[in-house]
Chains A and B, each alone.
Chain A
Amino acid sequence: MSPAPTVGELAHLVRSKNAGPFWQTLDVFLDDDASYRAVAEAPAIDPAVIGPLYRVDPASVRIFRLPSIRVVKISFPRRATQGGIADRDMHAGQQHVPLARLRLDATAP
């Protein structure tokens, strides 16, 4: 059996950005309803998976499923405040990559 697809393989676009200096948000855009459902209903789209993936508290992870625009949105507080001594990504614009590489059947470690 071939491995489950990744979020990035099904998505039209996966992007990340600051939502203010203390939060970051990841947006997954899907082109059709079938791929939207595959991602929105995937076991991997769960705070128990996303939290460890980004090394943040799963309780702080907010997941929004927006079928009308075929978007799955994930927001959580930044580990490092924007621009602070530990920050590696001023605009949080490259934080989508771990999510894009995540396989849809991933489960909590």
Chain B
Amino acid sequence: MADAKVLVPAGMLGAGFTEQSIRNGIALGADAIAIDGGSTDSGPYYLGSASPKMPPEAIAADLRLMIVHGMAAGIPVIVGSAGTSGTDAGVDWVAGIVEQIAAEEGLVLRLARIYSELSADVLGPVLDAGGIRPLPPAGDLTRATLDRCEHIVGLLGAEPFGAALEAGADVIVAGRATDTAVIAAYPLLHGCPPGPSWHAAKTAECGGQCTTNPRGGGVLVAIDDDGFTVVPLEDDSACTPMSVAAHMIYENADPNVMREPSGTLDVTDARYEALDHRRVRVTGSTFTPQPYTTKLEGSGIVGYQSIALAGIKDEEVLADIGTWADSLRDYVAFKAEDLLGLTADEAHIEVRCYGWNAVLGDIDPDTGPPREVGAVLIVTAADPATATKGVTLANPYLLHMPLPDMDHLPSFAFLSSPAEIPRGPLYEFLLQHVVAAEQAGNLARTEITEVGR
């Protein structure tokens, strides 16, 4: 009979968890410790610049607990989407922290690095051969869009993790992977059925999010031939059929099906039952194998931004804030073209009024005048100097812009001196496409080395 227990201490590496929760999971018989190190959720900057969103101290604190307890128990530690976006630099950054921990703790580890970064040069011929197709709402990919990406990653499935485990890896640090692959890899390798393995992985991928206390630590998922059981790792946390079932809808466009590289998980007929006041048993989830695909993520530079912020409290201006914002924007655009020769294509100028409709724009249901507004002037241009010049040019108007019928020049409350704040490059996600494996082959690259002591 197949049986595998995976300890998931938190929803993200660096989020933090207690040492006791790891001890509890190992006492429950954990066979592996798995955690996700990132996603696209923090935005396109992290992939575009290949930089992590968490400080190394937070990553090291979590890794140290997992590695020290995992090695003492003789079970592997699996990390996916290293360094937030899972670029090669992210893998090397997290692997470097693992090496440092091994040295400090006097451990010798077999460390597997699984890389999943791709390039336009690798993908170009695959695109030409018809091996890349769009997912909704994207259109067909072009070589020009591939070339615009600063970094491209392909989401790993469970297979390269399974291969590294078979090769005897103690610690796996992988590039971009599906959140679920890091958790499903061990049970799949040990013969557990794919429906329960993938559903257990989806349930546990955000750690305690599937419990009644989402901030109360991670979970252990125990997968077997017939289903899986979810157990919270903190003594004061509980799973209920509702809390477990509800997690399937989290950050998922379709609550019943989830596509993985090797096929599709379907939980339409899943049944959730309470084993006691804190453990939940799940059965009935199915997985249908499909031709292997690798989902791509890519991020490129749209332009460079500089901003400035003015606080507005004047009731007369607030009463007609829409007119004020439009006239400021139009006047700055006029001056940018008149003095700097910047057309609308060369300098994108926007005024966003926080406190009024900055968050929802034209779908905001509120209409009344705001109590206070933070007006953010945003200039986006082809280079940083031009963006900043646009904001500095606008400085007196952002400070003093009157309403059309005012007989005086108001002065607003600037956030800072200098008023202009260079923001650096603005990145955008550019890919919503998948690669067919038959055209692309195996896109993952694995290196295993012995590290430590």
Contacts and interface: CB of A to CB of B under 8 A. Distances in A.
Contact of B44 (A73, A82, A94): A82
A71 B246 contact: yes
Contacts of B256: 64
Given A64-B254, A82-B40, A73 B362 contact: no
B372 interface: no
Nearest to A53: B363
Interface residues of B, number: 40
Contact of A101 (B137, B255, B361, B365): B365
Nearest to A71: B249
Main secondary structure on B side of the interface with A? loop
Nearest to B299: A83
Interface stretch (B211-219, B325-333, B425-433): B425-433
A32 B302 CA distance: 47
Contacts of A21: 40, 44, 297, 429, 432
A55 B363 contact: yes
A90 B43 contact: yes
B72 interface: no
Given A55-B362, A69-B245, A88-B360, A17 B432 contact: no
Interface residues of A, number: 37
B358 interface: yes
A71 B251 CA distance: 14
Contacts, number: 102
Contacts of A81: 428-429
A88 B302 contact: no
A22 B365 contact: no
Interface of B: 40-45, 135-138, 242, 245-246, 249-256, 297, 302-303, 348, 352, 358-365, 380, 426-429, 432
Closest 4 A-B residue pairs measured CB to CB? A77-B137, A83-B43, A75-B253, A19-B253
15 contacts: A18-B41, A19-B251, A20-B40, A20-B251, A20-B253, A21-B40, A27-B250, A54-B363, A64-B254, A64-B255, A64-B256, A82-B429, A83-B428, A84-B302, A97-B360
